[in-house]
Amino acid sequence: MYKILISPTAKKVYFVLLTILILDTFIVSLQWSAVAGPKAILAQNVTVQSTTSLPSTPLIAATPIAAASVPNQDVLRVLTWAGGEIIFPRRGHPQNIELEYLQQFADEKNLKLEKIRVKKFVDLIPMLLAGKGDVIAANLTKTRERAKLVSFTKPYMLTKEYLVMGSQSKILKTGKDLNGREIVIQRGKSYESTALGLQKVYPQLKIRLVDSAISHEALYDKLASGEFDITIQDKNLINSASAYRDDIKMSLQASATRYLGWGVAPSNKSLLNDLNAFLKAQNLIAKTTPKSKHRYKSQWQKIQETKTVRFVLRNNLSSYYIWRGELLGFHYELAKRFAKEHKLRYEIIVAPNNVALLDYLLEDKADIALGFLTPTVQRRKKGIAFSRPYHYASELVIAHKDRAEIESEAELANSNIYIRPSSSYWESATALQKTVDNINLVAVPENQETELIIDKVGEREYEMTIADSHIVDLEMTFRDDIQSLIALGAPKSQSWAFASGNDKLLAKSNAFIKKHYKGLFYNVIYNKYFKNQKRLDTHYKDYVRQNNSGVLSPYDDIVKKYANQYGFDWRLLVAQMHQESRFNPKAKSMAGAKGLFQLMPRTAKELGISNVHEPEQGIKAGVRYMNWVRERMRKDEVQEDQLLWFTLASYNAGAGHVRDAMRLAKQKGWRDDVWFNNVERAMLLLSQSKYAAKARYGYVRGQEPVHYIREIKRRFETYDNILKRELVVAN
């Protein structure tokens, strides 16, 4: 659709310009020449308060520049920087927001959006001008130098640059404190010119340029560890990182207001005009004068004008989480559907605890709270309004599986029940105290999810708790160490929550719930998350029974073929295949993983496999992906004798969660390069909100990868012993 027009003369000019441009030395000198810009601003010291797999497309390295090509007219090719990504957004990560905007633009134009992840930031503009993409979306600051090379859209955001350092670093009280310090900048970033401007004012300030492939996350890690002293970042990036990191801090303001826009090739005026028209129509063009909080007559009017609805959720297994690179959750899917039906963008905000879930509504940090919330008198007095019911749940008393069964509430006498004080369960337990003797209520921390409390009951740390029936259903798909003793009263209604007075938003939400409750869409996603059958164990016989014949699975020959090709022990792969699918090539998980090795469709597609349900294709894809994951983990300097376990953990839960566990293990003083009894211990902690809140990839049900690896190891050792025994018998 967007044809790039280049004359023969222009081609020659572009070729010369771009050949020079891709040289790092040119980019460095280009940034050094930018010192003549406005003098940097140093504001008062500000500290940010902390709150809260396989790549989707291959990384693209810059290649020698050729003449610009004509793009596919049905595709919008978006160049984005791999180092700026946040896989699990908690508070509208800037680069994710850009891509959401462009996805909406592509949908309106009937285009397929193709995301091209570029490894080095400095390669973005050369690749655009070489015709390898149509638009750059990478939190790109408009500078005079860049504006000479590419055309910028109207700004979709205004931001300022700040100095950033590790939380334990010596503070900067004034700009003079920069003398003797060092600022580290990724090569090619606009922050270079800011740093050079500061160096003119403070001559003893040192500047170090590092590879532009170093991600923001890696940069933050080095600041936190003290390896790097200071860097410069846009405030919107710092705010996003502060949602889950407390090991970095924002310091002095370093620049005036900066304009962020999308970059387009100068010759592609039709695309530039269309993008600007889209930004204007969507009311996305940033204004220098902030919008008044009182300009809107209602919350719904604000949502309509901004075309964005903000949902606040908890990062847990029923609401919102990431698994194998996919964002999942019952409430997440409801939020997406509501936004889609009202032609709105949606923003997911993760609350750090259950109290904040409702407080965010009162503080106008969110529009709608989702989280199986029971309307109570106390919550209404607080200023919270509730929708019509969208779910009903029985409150169940939960105990360890070995506790004797009961027939009446009276048999709960002399029991200890562990509950969060802010939950509706506390009111139910208080009512229970009035009818049952010696019920002792024990308050647990507000950041403990119901799932974690249940886990502590299963481990006998807590005697009992109360939980909604759907949460218990979900837990019972993973565990068998708990039981429901009794239901307390009739099922209770659960609703969406809003700040009181937002009647129009409430009416829109009620209409949505009325339309979908118990309908096809609702039932499909509810069953997906809460009625999934337990591990397929009831449907497939354990193939270990076939061991007497020397056959480990129906697919041994195929597995041996690809195991040999990629250097794996075939018995290990058979054990993994059993754990994934019980040797059922038609198996499909609730997250959408398919086939014998339970690959996500997107991953299979990237591996060039179209039908993972066909056994050979599914096995080929699974082993190839295992090899890809192994090489990825090898780069993390995992010991060779531990590499297999880290690979399996990454295959199961995703490399992001594994790296979070490695990082946490190091913080705890455990080995971060040994899986058993070290990193696996940290993985278990990531099920707790106080640890998940500071993890890049958030909550993960740590028992899953831990159990997954131990089961595969046990089965692999069984296979190994069986085959050794057969060898002895044969001899």
Residues designated as active site:
580
- Nearest Cα residue to 22 out of 102, 120, 143: 120
Q: Which amino acid is at 127?
A: M
Spatial distance between the Cα atoms of 607 and 604, rounded to a whole number of angstroms: 5
| 518: phi then psi, degrees, rounded to nearest 5 | 65, 10
Evaluated on CA atoms 502, 505, 508, 509, the torsion sign reads: negative
For 472, the token pair is 């218990």
Any residues with CB less than 8 A from the CB of 106 and at least 6 apart, and which? 76, 112, 113
Any residues with CB less than 8 A from the CB of 548 and at least 6 apart, and which? none
Alpha-carbon distances of 493 from 312, 374, 386, rounded to whole Å:
20, 6, 11
Spatial distance between the Cα atoms of 96 and 115, rounded to a whole number of angstroms: 11
Provide the β-strand partners of residue 305: none
Provide the β-strand partners of residue 440: 416
Q: Which helix (H) or strand (E) holds 114?
A: strand 112-118
Answer whether 492's CB lies under 8 Å from 427's CB. Answer: no
Concatenate the DSSP letters of all residues of 167-201 into one string: TTSPP-SSGGGGTT-EEEEETT-THHHHHHHHHHH
- Nearest Cα residue to 162 out of 240, 48, 254: 254
- Whole-number CA gyration radius for the chain: 28
Q: What share of the chain is helix, strand, coil (3-state, %, to 5)?
A: 45, 20, 40
CB atoms closer than 10 angstroms to residue 573: 28
Any residues with CB less than 8 A from the CB of 151 and at least 6 apart, and which? 263, 264, 265, 266, 268, 269, 272
Q: Which helix (H) or strand (E) holds 358?
A: helix 354-362
Q: Which helix (H) or strand (E) holds 540?
A: none
Q: Which amino acid is at 141?
A: T
Spatial distance between the Cα atoms of 469 and 393, rounded to a whole number of angstroms: 6
Q: Which helix (H) or strand (E) holds 399?
A: strand 391-400
Answer whether 159's CB lies under 8 Å from 240's CB. Answer: no
Q: Which helix (H) or strand (E) holds 37?
A: none
Concatenate the DSSP letters of all residues of 668-709 into one string: TTS-SS-IIIIIHHHHHHTTSHHHHTTSTT----THHHHHHH
Answer whether 56's CB lies under 8 Å from 325's CB. Answer: yes
Angle (nearest 5°) at CA 127 between 123 and 132: 145
